Amino acid sequence: MSAVPPPTPPEPWAGGPVTERAHCVLAANPGPMTLDGTNTWVLLEPGSTEAVVVDPGPHGEEHLRAVVAHVEARGARVALTVLTHGHHDHAEAAPRFAELTGAPTRAVGRGHDDLGDGDVLRVGGLEVAVVATPGHTADSVSFALPADHALLTGDTVLGRGTTVVAHPDGELAAYLASLERIQALTGGGRVAAILPGHGPVVPDAAAMVAIYRVHRAERLEQVRQALADGAAAEPDPVEGVLRRVYAAVPESVWPAARMSIRAQLEYLGVGGGVSGRGA
């Protein structure tokens, strides 16, 4: 959840096979915040009968049964479900999916707390490494597929547009550190492609992360300028920044823009009705 749409119509994304081990089953929940819908990822080692499912998505019996049917059509069963974070469009259906499959669910936070940074999940010959990438939310994690040189990023990096730092749960300092961490993985050749939570696969992970880091730096500078131009003196600096910096953003995503603005103001140490660190 969290994209600011690009200004030009994007190429449609329908999911499907993307690497030797990863297949996307696209949920039917398109929208301004979800792009084409939520990407539910099925991870399966070639020749294995045990699959890992990442982000079963929002409530929707038809989608969940489509995921199960895809796994069964490949002669496998769902052995484990993992979540990139707890937002409803990724995790809401997890309890029902567990009922359908009998598979355990692992995640960070919201009653789970059983995935740790650096953990390696081994299921049916498949290896999935847990990479903590907080910032979009406090519980955000990514999953590396070393054999495919791919990283499943949830909402930390999207296939199109940029993501929201979902203040107060999300934090900009943590998000910037997560982008730096992903960039380090791309620099070492360990990650070539990004398999996002929304939108198409990103074949050049390094280039996309560089774009995200530049975007964040530019946004911060725009917010600083907006504050200097008078937003800081307004009763609600968030609205002052929104008018000056995000005027071209569709109103449908203003709630997300406000969250990102609050995260940026917190990062810059600006009060004025915005909860600061430790508040």
* H or E element that contains 74: none
CB atoms within 10 A of CB 161: 18
Which of these, 139, 57, 154, 141, lies nearest to 97 by C-alpha position?
A: 57
Q: What one-letter code names the amino acid at 168?
A: P
Length of the chain: 279
Respond yes or no: is residue 89 known to be catalytic.
yes
Catalytic residue, candidates 89, 139, 155, 169 = 89
Give me the DSSP letters along 94-149.
Answer: HHHHHHHH---EE-SSTT-----TT-EEEETTEEEEEEE--SSSTT-EEEEEGGGT
Peptide bond into 30 cis (omega under 30): no
- Catalytic (active-site) positions: 89
